[in-house]
């Protein structure tokens, strides 16, 4: 299986461990990745706030690059996935708009015909690879480990842009993968809510209240670890966890890991190679719970 890989800004910025873990896991899953090194930021939903056409054009440019390679795109960030899905939906369903965007892409000799499929690694594992193919790769099952999923808004809503009609169970994939890897999926109401990251600098207190609430709820439901397919959520749940805990006046100490780190650990990849030592909340307690 071969994909045009869009790693996104954060896996090359504040979450370098995600980049590393993705490469290690892709190797095990026999996913061949062709990195789109010239692709720009998606705009993170913020650029479209100022200038929707500009944001859609940058994404169309990325889609055109993948189209030229004849490959679908693989993302590893819920936000990148959501912003790209929304842009792709608009471009595919409005030929006049697509033509207008292509006028700008012509500046560098590119054209987007509207054929590129964009999928998050989370979807690729369930829909393209299949959980039955993942199961035999598990050499260190997550037996007895309680894992709380945290999806990230952009990969869940609005469902009309994310093809939930074709794949109505996309909001259960983390749990399905968890079970396949031998772990126990923890159910709690916060798993599909907002981490609070987008308002971190605008309303810090509300932002920490959101991440704190979800972390505390997951812990109360017995979670040993939280797993997310979104590095932005990861920043507010892991890096900001000490501040959220201080605001909530409780000890939280819940490790938060990236989706490929969970997969990698169960595939027997050493924790260090997955960057599990590069988190703010120490992941040792979680790793120790996974039978060697």
Query: Which residues of the shown chain bind other proteins in the complex (CB under 8 A)?
Result: 9-10, 12-17, 37-41, 43-51, 53-54, 57-58, 61, 104, 107-108, 153-154, 156-159, 168, 189, 193-194, 196, 198-199, 201-207, 209-210, 213, 239-240, 242-243, 277-280
What's the min distance (Å) between Cβ of 40 and other proteins?
Answer: 4
Q: Which is nearer to other proteins, 9 or 131 (CB)?
A: 9
Minimal distance, residue 126 CB to other proteins, in Å:
16
Report, in Å, the least distance between residue 259 CB and other proteins: 17
> Among residues 181 and 215, whose Cβ is nearest to other proteins?
215
Q: Tell me how far, at minimum, the Cβ of 213 lies from other proteins, in Å.
A: 7
Q: Is 209 helix (H, G, I), strand (E, B) or coil?
A: helix
DSSP for 70-137, please give it.
Answer: T--EEE--HHHHHHHHHHHHHHHH-HHHHHHHHHHHGGGT----S---EEEHHHIIIIII-HHHHGGG
Nearer to other proteins among residue 1 and residue 89 (C-beta):
89
For 134-197, the DSSP string reads HGGG-SS--TT-EEEE---GGGTSSGGGTTTTT-TTGGGHHHHHHHHTT-EEPP-GGGGS--SG
Peptide bond into 56 cis (omega under 30): no
Shortest reach from residue 235's CB to other proteins, in Å: 9
Identify which of residues 118 and 194 has a Cβ nearer to other proteins in the complex: 194
Neighbours of 119 (CB within 10 A): 19
- Could you tell me the end-to-end alpha-carbon distance of the chain, in angstroms, rounded to an integer? 30
**What is the smallest separation between the CB atom of 116 and other proteins, expressed in angstroms?**
17
Query: Is 147 or 153 the residue whose CB approaches other proteins more closely?
Result: 153
3-state SS assignment for residue 258 = strand
Residue closer to other proteins by CB (options 107, 292) is 107
168/253 with CB nearer other proteins: 168
Nearest 5°: CA angle at 119, between 49 and 121? Answer: 115
Q: How far is the CB of 210 from other proteins (least distance, A)?
A: 6
d(CA 149, CA 147) in angstroms, rounded, equals 6
């Amino acid at each position: 299986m071969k994909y045009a890989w869009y790693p996104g800004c954060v896996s090359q910025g504040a979450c370098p461990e995600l980049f590393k873990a993705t490469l290690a896991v892709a190797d095990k899953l026999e996913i061949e990745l062709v990195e789109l090194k010239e692709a720009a930021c998606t705009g993170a939903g913020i650029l479209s706030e100022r200038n929707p056409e500009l944001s859609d054009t940058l994404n169309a440019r990325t889609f055109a690059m993948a189209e030229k390679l004849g490959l679908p795109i693989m993302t590893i960030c819920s936000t990148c996935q959501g912003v790209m899905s929304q842009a792709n939906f608009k471009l595919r369903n409005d030929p006049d708009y697509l033509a207008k965007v292509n006028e700008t892409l012509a500046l560098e000799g590119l054209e987007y015909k509207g054929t590129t499929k964009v999928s998050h690694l989370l979807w690729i594992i369930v829909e393209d690879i299949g959980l039955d193919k993942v199961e035999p790769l598990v050499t260190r099952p997550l037996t007895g480990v309680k894992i709380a999923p945290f999806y990230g808004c952009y990969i869940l809503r609005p469902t009309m842009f994310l093809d939930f009609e074709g794949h109505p169970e996309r909001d259960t994939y983390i749990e399905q993968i968890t079970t396949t890897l031998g772990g126990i999926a923890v159910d709690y109401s916060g798993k599909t809510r907002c981490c609070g990251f987008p308002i971190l600098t605008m309303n810090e207190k509300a932002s920490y209240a959101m991440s704190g609430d979800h972390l505390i709820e997951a812990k109360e439901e017995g979670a040993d670890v939280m797993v997310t397919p979104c590095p932005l959520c990861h920043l507010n749940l892991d890096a900001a966890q000490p501040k959220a805990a201080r605001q909530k006046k409780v000890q939280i100490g819940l490790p938060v890991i990236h989706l490929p780190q969970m997969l990698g650990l169960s595939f027997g990849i050493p924790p260090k190679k997955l960057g599990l030592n590069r988190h703010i909340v120490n992941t040792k307690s979680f790793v120790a719970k996974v039978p060697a």
